[in-house]
A and B are shown apart, each in its own frame.
Chain A
Amino acid sequence: MLIKRFIVALTLVVVLPTGLVSADNFSQDMLQTAHERLHEAVCVLTFTQEATDPRTGEQQRQDGNAVALLVSSDGLLLSNGHLQLEHIRSFNFRVYVRRNGEEQHYPAVMLDKPDDINITLLRIQSDTPLDLPYVRFQRGSALSLGEPVAVVGVMGENLDFERSIQTDRVAAMLDTPRTTYCLTNPLRLGFISSPVVNLHGDVVGVVGVDLDQEEGGGILARPGHPLVFQTDLFIEHVESPPDVSPVSLRTEEAWLGLFTQPLNEDYAAYWDIEEPGGLIVSTVVPDSPAARAGLTPGDIIRYFNDTPVYAIHDREVFSFTTMIRESEPHSTVTLGILRNGEEETVSATLGVRPRTARDAEEFTDETFGLVVREITRDLRILLNIGDEVDGVIVGRVISGSPAHLAGIRPGVIIMALGDYTVADLDDFESAVNQLEESKPNEVTAFARVGATTGFFRMRPRW
């Protein structure tokens, strides 16, 4: 049984350090022990991913697999954060647990993504109580440059996902936005979210791919370069996991409607502002709470409800984002700003964060062969669609359909169908219904393609 094995492992750990002091690397015994202790907690996760092209709404599905690490006996799993990306929906999870040479699989559900680290947590679903092998993490486990580590992962599918172990060393210590370690070898995918063991046999963390967008991952990401997420970065999430709540049930978030940039030393010097820090308002989304509060580009935000807002680097603007998100929608907040060198206070009533393209509603019309979606706020910004443009955006065109033959492509914005003006999905649906009754020989769609408008003539097959 697992418990016995852990006891053995613990005694080994006690014995080993004497030999370790002089050793600079793992001995074969140490690797075997680590493998034996951990390999049953390393599982294979299979899933389906649906990627949505944010511009067109076009969706593509693909099956995938990843490493999932059991972190509790009742089936809590840790896996990589890329399962929960913007514009990607992952579902159809199945966890393959290999124990005493026998494999068992369970369905699993994804939990809400932690907002401070790029990992995903999942929970196995089972009608019967579970008692699964799992990894125990060592807290407070800092690594040092050049320190050897061992990683227990899985081999590729052609090697039947055999559990394996490899050694590495800490190649670099990253200190922004917080301490993380970089490994030397490019690890294969079967090692991401695998447990990392130090010479003492402690599980000091897991292998991570890169930082999350929310923590500046877009800037600092080093694709393919493995990091060690040390235990302290995620242990809170493992010990008190988020609820089993599908993403769609997420509650409303507050929204201000601003784009900002940090006021660094150079910008502060240019504007003769003594202290750098603060956020420069760079864009105000039209018709947003920020616009109604009278904020304009060039204002510098220094306080949010008396809490100082400080940002010198790009990644620091995220703390302001978090402050907004954690506020109550419809609540009134005060912003201390610097406008033309004068300190002012502006109060703004927060709105509800508009739906993003990922959660956009869509309507499938089989008559013309179109899947159309609402034009969400983020899509408006991404595609630079003016506020005067109302309509629905084509996400998919069914091959061989009247719409396809007429030359309608994903990304086209339909503004009228026949004689019916289309301002939103409801209009589109009712236009299709009306046309289905009158059954005209040809139906013309008035649409916007890029910056120009035009007509598409469709011949529906009634």
Chain B
Amino acid sequence: MALLQPPVIMGQSTHRVQSLPVALLLCAVVFSGCATLPGNTQSAVLSAKNAVYPALVHIRPVKEVYIAGQRREVPTIGSGFIITEDGYIITNEHVAGDSSVVWCVLSDNTELEARVIGADADTDIAVLKVEASSALPTVRLGSSARLESGQMVLAMGSPHGLARSVSLGIISVPDRYLGDADGLIAPYNNWVQTDAAINPGNSGGPLVNLRGEVIGVNSRVLSGAENVGFAIPIDIAREAAEAIMEEGRVRRSWLGLRFQQMGAKTDDPTVRGVVISDVSPYSPAREAGVRPGDLLVAIDDVSVDARFEEELPAVRKAIADLPIGKTTVLQLKRDGEPLEMDVITEEKIATRGGQTEFQEWGFTVAEMTPELARRAQLPERTGVLVSGSMPGSIAAAAGLEQGDIILEVDGEPIHSLAAFTLAYESILESGQPATMLFVKRGAVTRFVLVKTGAEDAPALEKEIIDHVD
């Protein structure tokens, strides 16, 4: 694990008032600092800023959040930049994804409502589109392929909602790996680590080199640290944005493999390849017979190697980039013996599924994705997940809790959120007084009677505790 504390997604802040005097003070300091820079650096900073500044966007999305069994709309703030004259804007998925409306304020203070073209959680990239009467200023996208530590960069955006802010720093590390044991924070890329001040609200804004080219999308900070910020390399962002502009989403291949660097098994530098640490049940790789502990040495004759963890994203991306539904040859090593296996790639399904609020019962339900089914130890992808229940609601009175998996409604198996929605609607329509759910919580199942006719008299005694015999 690369970090003591996981980086937090930059959220939104309402501390604008308190931040202002601090920001003013900081400005004064920065200006005095600038004076000591050589003249050519000062002009380079100014020209780099001027190259991007007109295309900088202050973004005000209204996000849908599901809390305690309710869907709520929360206004937030982020940053972005215009990449095409006809109004395509790049920002973060965590800024603009799951939004009901997104407002964009351009550099000339024009405020336009944007359409969300698509949002990709795996790269944290979203693309917006605004309609303007004339051609819009755009940024120049650079390359993130050959970045160097020590290279000067500017971060631009709306820290704590303070629009049009620019901060200066250097690239601290060009390819920082951020990973944790099982949650994959950006599985397909390393990060550009910078000390240019990045704060909540900078999310989605550009990281710019002194040539005035965008080389990253500012996305994360390490909480509790000073000036440890992270940007998505622009090459990754550009690729995701192009896919979103074309198809509205990023399609990826999936084999059901998880990897660890060779160092997890041995520090012998002569051993090449990457360690397969986990094979998902019901995955193409499992069906083909791949086992945890096998070493993957090549995919379709292209060798893969990851001695260190920062080499893992490239391996994952090589698999994601395979054509979907096609046969691929995996070259493996098992107990030192070479082995070849044919697998047919499947399309990767998002970890997180859609959510719906069911207001009458006072709870929210999420789609069960294969990954969630696996975490819940379900033998197959079935049921729907209760994502929250509102205190005092019918659902709460019945004892439904976050994390419960509804397997059956009135004896009928439920396999998707759509199926549950249909069943729910017909229950409401029929006006039946009670509905029986069969629910799984952890390893234990139980029957839950939802008294739909009892809005005025919620059950006092919750029959929710089962007992082992």
Contact = CB atoms under 8 A, between A and B. Distances in A.
B374 interface: yes
Given A262-B463, A452-B277, A283 B292 contact: no
A444 to B, nearest CB: 5
16 contacts: A219-B465, A267-B436, A267-B447, A270-B436, A283-B466, A313-B461, A314-B463, A381-B444, A384-B376, A385-B443, A444-B264, A450-B375, A451-B182, A453-B292, A454-B278, A455-B265
A453 B278 contact: yes
Contact of B266 (A283, A385, A407, A444): A444
A266 B377 contact: no
Contacts of B263: 457
Contacts of A137: none
Given A270-B449, A386-B377, A455-B265, A321 B467 contact: yes
Interface of B: 1, 181-182, 258, 260, 263-267, 275, 277-278, 292-293, 374-377, 434, 436, 438, 442-447, 449, 451, 459, 461, 463, 465-469
A453 B263 CA distance: 16
Contact of B443 (A219, A269, A381, A446): A381
A68 B409 CA distance: 53
A380 B443 CA distance: 8
A258 interface: yes
B469 A321 contact: yes
Given A218-B465, A454-B278, A455-B264, 20 more contacts: A257-B469, A260-B467, A262-B463, A264-B463, A267-B449, A297-B445, A380-B443, A381-B443, A381-B468, A383-B443, A384-B377, A384-B442, A407-B1, A416-B293, A449-B181, A451-B375, A452-B277, A453-B277, A455-B260, A457-B267
- Classify the secondary structure of A's interface with B: mixed
Interface string A307-351: 000000110011011001000000000000000000000000000
A3 interface: no
A260 B443 contact: no
B182 A442 contact: no
Given A283-B446, A453-B292, A266 B434 contact: yes
Contacts of B181: 449-450, 452, 454
Contacts of B267: 442, 457
Contact of B467 (A264, A314, A380, A444): A314
A298 interface: yes
B345 to A, nearest CB: 21
Contacts of A297: 438, 445, 447
Nearest to A454: B277
Nearest to A407: B1
B447 to A, nearest CB: 6
B468 A258 contact: yes
A280 interface: yes
Contacts of A256: 469
Given A283-B445, A454-B278, A449 B182 contact: yes
A190 to B, nearest CB: 32
